[in-house]
Chain A
């Protein structure tokens, strides 16, 4: 009998643990946030407005125009790279391939890699790079856009990039993989050169996929 009570307690404890786990498991939302007060149906309500990724204009490796809207309805991972990068990009993309392989069958996760060297990384160069990486379809886009606009865009992903003649390949950039939810909010940032952090990214994407709609509604 005692044992029964004990095990019942254990079970209860576990169950409690499980439910509290769920809310703990919600990913944080990064970036600046503002409280916005507005009037809805004659009542004043205060809403939190989160930092979101702004609009951008690029073309992908297929020469197709890609904007913020093209990612509507997708969870996505973004990074900044260039095809002739001799330093960290091979490490990043060796790791990103794991993310690609994990989610290539689930339609709602995309990867976007913005080139920070658009002069060299033409559509043809990006297509060749994608082919050699073994990337097909529309799960991973390699994007070319106006250089200054891309550098500015990197800031909104909280990633630092700049040109530097002394750096290997001519550019310095951080190797973050930035996780964006369907509301275009930043939900995580992972060192793309670190396999353990990339494993965490994969876990967090799965978590984000199960996030209930009510949580998502802004």
Chain B
């Protein structure tokens, strides 16, 4: 009897954990695939199909450390553009990225794609997070 209960409990718990995980995974995949389309139409011309950038004019999106360090500012950069001297992959850039005109959910999607492609593994960048970050753009 005891054994049966334990077995049932075990099954229930694993099932719950499993479905939870796959919900998360599903959400991530939704962000990622829409983000991929957005990237192709809105970012790829400048940053390249492999996120390689363009010489010293446009920075690559392959610098995981840069992306991680500046994670909370990326949404503002994509929304309002960026015109600051920055260091990416150890090289200085001082160009100008125009404002993207993307909605917060699209920013979340494209950032999820960028941060989990080109050799980056930084996980989901949710729309809730983007909304919070957009409140404190300067």
Contact = CB atoms under 8 A, between A and B. Distances in A.
- Do A and B form a real pair? yes
B66 to A, nearest CB: 19
Interface string B37-53: 00000000110100000
Query: Which label, helix, strand, loop or mixed, suits the secondary structure of the A interface?
Result: helix
Q: Is the interface of B mostly helix, strand, loop or mixed?
A: loop
B56 A90 contact: no
Interface residues of A, number: 14
Q: Which 8 interchain pairs have the tightest Cβ spacing?
A: A132-B56, A132-B57, A133-B55, A90-B46, A91-B45, A90-B54, A94-B54, A134-B55
A202 interface: no
A154 to B, nearest CB: 21
Interface residues of B, number: 10
Contacts of B57: 90, 129, 132-133
Residue in B46, B48, B54, B57 with the greatest tally of chain A CB atoms within 10 Å: B57
Contacts of A88: 45
Given A132-B56, A134-B55, A134-B56, A94 B98 contact: no
Select the residue from B45, B46, B54, B58 with max chain A CB neighbours within 10 A.
Answer: B45
Contacts of B56: 131-134
Interface in B52-99: 54-58, 96, 98
Interface of A: 84, 86-88, 90-91, 93-94, 97, 129, 131-134
A97 B98 contact: no
B55 A97 contact: yes
Contacts of A84: 96
Contacts of A134: 55-56
A33 B45 CA distance: 37
Contacts of A94: 48, 54
A192 to B, nearest CB: 12
19 contacts: A84-B96, A86-B46, A87-B45, A88-B45, A90-B46, A90-B58, A93-B54, A94-B48, A94-B54, A97-B55, A129-B57, A131-B56, A132-B55, A132-B56, A132-B57, A133-B55, A133-B56, A134-B55, A134-B56
